[in-house]
Amino acid sequence: MMDPHTVSDQHSNKDGLMADFEAVIGLETHIQLNTVTKIFCSCKADSWEDPPNTNICPVCAGLPGVLPVLNEAAVYKGALLAAAMHAEVRLVSYFDRKNYFYPDLPKGYQISQFDLALGDGGYLDVTMPGGFVRRVNITKLHLEEDAGKTKYEGGKRLVDFNRCGVPLVEMVTEPDLRSADEAAQYLIRLRQLLRWMGVSEADMEKGHLRCDANVSIRTVGSTHLNTKTEIKNVNSIEAVRAAINMEIERQVSLVQAGGQVESWTLDWDETRQRLNKMRSKETEADYRYFREPDLLPLELTSEWRDAVIHNLPELPLERQLRFMTHYQLPEYDADILTADRPIADYYEAALTAYEGDPKVLSNWIMNEVLRMQNELGLSADALTLTPEYLAEVIRLVDAGTINAATGKALLMKVQQSGQAPQAIVIAEGLSQVSDDSALQSVIDAVLAAHLQEVESYRNGKEGLFGWFMGQVMRQTRGQADPAKTRELLQKALQEKR
């Protein structure tokens, strides 16, 4: 993997059809901030499980004569995200009115930020399929309020204002992405970052992270930006990937046949997995932006901004690289162990307690703890099996007190009982049978009871060795020291030859 600050211009295009062309993609994302209340009133922000129109008030429902009051938590989370994206947090930014008419927009305008937004610039370094790091630059990062929802039911259009006034960050990338896979990877890393920072739940299915994809093609080597289309309504990573691939193929076939790409807006039909044309010419709507007269300029002190920057945690990619350099972990391990903050913290806490080989610990977590997490649907910080308990189990295995199979089973026992590993080993008599004479007598008994198999083994059926191992393990309820058993069993089978 390359240093994240090296910008690569490698491509990860699919070949074949694409041989002469490359795709040019820019994403517009809307991120729902996970504040308790809405951005300009004190209504509950998250209405996912609530009936329509139950979290509304005169402010967010757009009644006349009321005034918005800016929610500091939304500003804080927006600024934290801007800082994490390496954007400059503007000390003075403004809210503007974006005017348009739509049934789910009761005020007739959306309060947004236009020219002088909270964030200025920024980028996200994304490790792409193929291993190189692509820097995706940010064109726009601003705060705004969400609109409501409309839906059709029984031939009627219904509106739900619950979502009106929910805080959003809109983030627009430069056309820096070069394939559907790269676009998908950007969203995967953005989602990871949002959760890592604790600013959004970033659940695409719930609309916490929404994406429109802009797609054009050009001949490889060109720096020209050709006419693009915009795909709306792609609500999962896989939909983004499928829709963009389909659109790239459409544009390439069109151009190869001598046609020209027109500036369409396309709608992704999830059930039929295809793109529908919504409108042919994206009319540059006149939103008639003007400064929001009901809000003061958003002025931050440099102390406040410094505090935000000070609160920035080590970011996922930085942490992954540190895991690789400090603990000599393979890139693959370091990536998985930094998938979210709880698992990264879990790994480092366990390592402190374990004081052993970082890769051995990584294996235990990747094989056993992640499986347990998946089974139980728990994040690492919610496990009863604490990092300290995990370390204790591995130390018991390393010391030969229990064998690896017992150790693995012990993890779930600790998780379910909350008891310390040592205590369970003693209470259940799980200590490995590694005492020579005890093992020898088990082996002798096994051989005596299976003379025919012993005979076959000695006549060359060496594949039976594993079966003998299994018998000894069964007799010792899985607690025999495998290495010692193998050694003694080999000797016993040969001696009597």
Give the binding site for ligand ADP (CB under 6 A).
24-28, 172-175, 214-216, 225-226, 228, 282
Comparing CB distances to ligand ADP, the nearer of 214 and 401 is 214
For Zn ion, what does the binding mask look like between residues 203 and 242, x meaning CB under 5 A? ----------------------------------------
Token couple for 388: 């300290």
Q: Which residue's CB is nearer to ligand ADP, number 264 or number 457?
A: 264
Taking the least distance from each CB to Zn ion, the nearer of 41 and 138 is: 41
Nearest approach, Cβ of residue 232 and Zn ion (Å): 27
- Reference 118, options 80, 90, 138; nearest CA is 90
Q: Which is nearer to ligand ADP, 25 or 246 (CB)?
A: 25
Closest CA to 240 of 191, 285, 293: 191
Here the contacts of 264-273 (C-beta below 8 Å, separation 24 or greater) are 264/229, 264/230, 265/229, 265/230, 265/232, 266/229, 266/230, 266/231, 266/232, 267/231, 267/232, 267/233, 268/231, 268/232, 268/233, 268/234, 268/239, 268/243, 270/233, 270/235, 270/239, 273/242
Site for Zn ion in 4-43 (CB under 5 A): 41, 43
Distance CA 411, CA 428 (A): 14
**Between 46 and 182, CB nearer to Zn ion:** 46
Instruction: Name 299's bridge partners.
Output: 92
Q: What's the one-letter identity of residue 202?
A: A
Q: Which does 57 bind (CB under 5 to 8 A by kind): Zn ion, ligand ADP, none?
A: Zn ion
At 231, list the tokens.
């795909």
**Facing residues of 97 across strands?**
111, 290
Of Zn ion, ligand ADP, none, which one does residue 41 interact with (CB within 5 to 8 Å by kind)?
A: Zn ion
Of Zn ion, ligand ADP, none, which one sits near residue 28, judging by CB under 5 to 8 A according to partner kind? ligand ADP
Of 21-29, 51-59, 392-400, 461-469, which part binds Zn ion (CB under 5 A)?
A: 51-59
CA atoms of 280 and 266, how far apart (whole Å): 9
Assess 111 for contact with Zn ion (CB under 5 A).
Answer: no
282: partner contacted, choices ligand ADP, Zn ion, none (Cβ within 5-8 A by kind): ligand ADP
**Minimum distance of ligand ADP from residue 244's CB (angstroms):** 10
- Verify binding: residue 57, Zn ion, rule CB under 5 A: yes
Between 80 and 177, whose beta carbon lies closer to ligand ADP? 177
Nearer Cβ to ligand ADP (234/380): 234
Angle, helices 180-197 vs 72-84, to 10°: value is 130
* Number of residues counted as binding Zn ion (CB under 5 A): 5
The residue with its CB nearest to ligand ADP is: 26
How many other C-beta atoms are found inside a 10 Å radius of the C-beta of residue 200?
23
CB of 401 vs ligand ADP, minimal distance in Å: 58
Q: How far is the CB of 165 from Zn ion (least distance, A)?
A: 5
Rounded distance, CA 406 to CA 328, Å?
A: 28
CA distance 110 to 166: 11
Partner whose footprint covers residue 174, from ligand ADP, Zn ion, none (CB < 5 to 8 Å by kind):
ligand ADP
The backbone torsions φ and ψ at residue 220, rounded to the nearest 5 degrees and listed phi first, read: -60, 135
Pick from Zn ion, ligand ADP, none: which does 60 bind, CB < 5 to 8 A by kind?
Zn ion
What minimum distance in Å lies between the beta carbon of 57 and Zn ion? 3
Nearest Cα neighbor of 215 from 252, 258, 244, 183 is 244
Note whether 147 binds Zn ion by CB under 5 A: no
- Count of alpha carbons within 13 Å of 65, Cβ hemisphere only? 0
> What is the distance between the alpha carbons of residues 172 and 364, in angstroms, rounded to a whole number?
40
Shortest distance, position 139 Cβ to ligand ADP, whole Å: 6
Structural contact between residues 485 and 465, judged by C-beta atoms closer than 8 angstroms: no
Please report how close the Cβ of residue 25 comes to ligand ADP at its closest, in angstroms: 6
- Cβ closer to ligand ADP: 170 or 348? 170
CA distance linking residue 424 with residue 338, whole number of Å: 31
Residues whose CB falls within 8 Å of the CB of residue 381, separated by 6 or more in sequence, listed in order? 342, 345, 346
The smaller minimum CB distance to ligand ADP, of residues 281 and 497, is found at 281
Closest to ligand ADP by CB, 211 vs 300, is 211
Q: Does 60 bind Zn ion (CB under 5 A)?
A: yes
Residue 266 binding target from Zn ion, ligand ADP, none, CB below 5 to 8 Å by type: none
Q: Using the rule CB under 5 A, give the single segment among 59-67, 119-127, 174-182, 220-228 that binds Zn ion.
A: 59-67
Q: How far is the CB of 406 from ligand ADP (least distance, A)?
A: 55
Q: Do the bridges between strand 229-234 and strand 209-219 make them parallel or antiparallel, or are there none, so unpaired? A: antiparallel
Q: How many CB atoms lie within 10 A of CB 14?
A: 15
Q: Closer to Zn ion by CB, 54 or 367: give it.
A: 54
Q: Which does 24 bind (CB under 5 to 8 A by kind): Zn ion, ligand ADP, none?
A: ligand ADP
**For Zn ion, which stretch binds (CB under 5 A), given 53-61, 193-201, 213-221, 447-455?**
53-61
Q: How, if at all, do strands 229-234 and 265-269 pair?
A: parallel
Which DSSP state fits 37? B
Q: Which residue has tokens 């429902």?
A: 61
What residues line the site for Zn ion (CB under 5 A)? 41, 43, 57, 59-60
